[in-house]
Chain A
């Protein structure tokens, strides 16, 4: 289980007691993480903003159900993921909006940013798992709880994601020439001489 921040525990306890100011503290500490995670899921900045707002609203309404002895971020991210799934289900018949980049382009163009590659080449689930494990530094069990998979399945997902990225970074073989080189002259001689 992820380590519990004592400040988070205090804020969660006070929020459970009804303190909106304490919940503001939770918003201040975690809204960026929730937004980043939702941006990875929806690939749309506007949707991610709306869902972040909805996530904290839902969390405030359900804060009494939260156990303050547990870390709050995985709980918030679980709510966020459920809301994003509900939103995507509702929007299914409509045309899918153009995906926006989640991560900024790397500073130096020579070194490709792994996260950009991940965004381009991985499925939404794999990208979420990667994000939660490496960006939010959550343990596998916690990642599994958030994305609705078992710990073993998360391990496999991450392994495949890393392999995909490694494959993308492997130097590609030199391109084949468009026209094949001419045959050696000895071959032509052999064909003409009886």
Chain B
């Protein structure tokens, strides 16, 4: 007997399972005894309250006064030219270039101390 014979026999001999007589009634009764779960109003209120609390906690806090920008600890502000309101738009560029040049100079002196000695 080969596989196709088995295939044919399995189809032909599909068994009938005897179902217990009261099973359908039992299932239907259990469906009526346990109604579908719904969200109760208490749960809805509790979840809404939790959402509100979360929103309050997570909301970004506004600062009370004006923001004071802390000076950058890496670059010493005394060495740089203080920034004022530029009258000429090119002043800003010029100041930035000067600051860059000073920073570069300081970097080179720090890295190559002999350069500072030679300048003296």
> Contact residues of A with B, CB < 8 Å?
18, 20, 23-24, 27-28, 31-32, 35-36, 39, 45, 49, 52-53, 56-57, 60-61, 102-104, 113-115, 118, 130, 134-135, 159, 162-163, 165-166, 169-170
Contact = CB atoms under 8 A, between A and B. Distances in A.
Contacts of B6: 114, 162, 165-166, 169
Given A49-B20, A114-B9, A114-B10, 10 more contacts: A24-B28, A35-B23, A49-B26, A52-B23, A53-B27, A57-B30, A103-B15, A134-B11, A169-B6, A170-B1
B72 interface: no
16 contacts: A18-B36, A27-B27, A31-B24, A32-B19, A35-B17, A49-B23, A56-B31, A57-B31, A104-B15, A113-B15, A115-B15, A162-B3, A165-B10, A166-B1, A166-B2, A166-B5
A60 B24 contact: no
A173 B47 CA distance: 73
A118 B14 CA distance: 12
Contact of B18 (A28, A49, A56, A104): A104
B119 interface: no
Nearest to B7: A162
B17 to A, nearest CB: 4
Contacts of B36: 18, 60-61
Contacts of A163: 3
Nearest to B11: A134
A60 B31 contact: yes
Contacts of A36: 17, 19
Contacts of B76: none
A104 B19 CA distance: 12
A82 to B, nearest CB: 18
B66 to A, nearest CB: 55
B13 interface: yes
B20 A28 contact: no
Contacts of B61: none
Nearest to B14: A135
A110 B77 CA distance: 105
Contacts of B16: 104
Nearest to B37: A61
B45 interface: no
B96 to A, nearest CB: 62
A36 to B, nearest CB: 4
B24 A27 contact: yes
A169 B24 contact: no
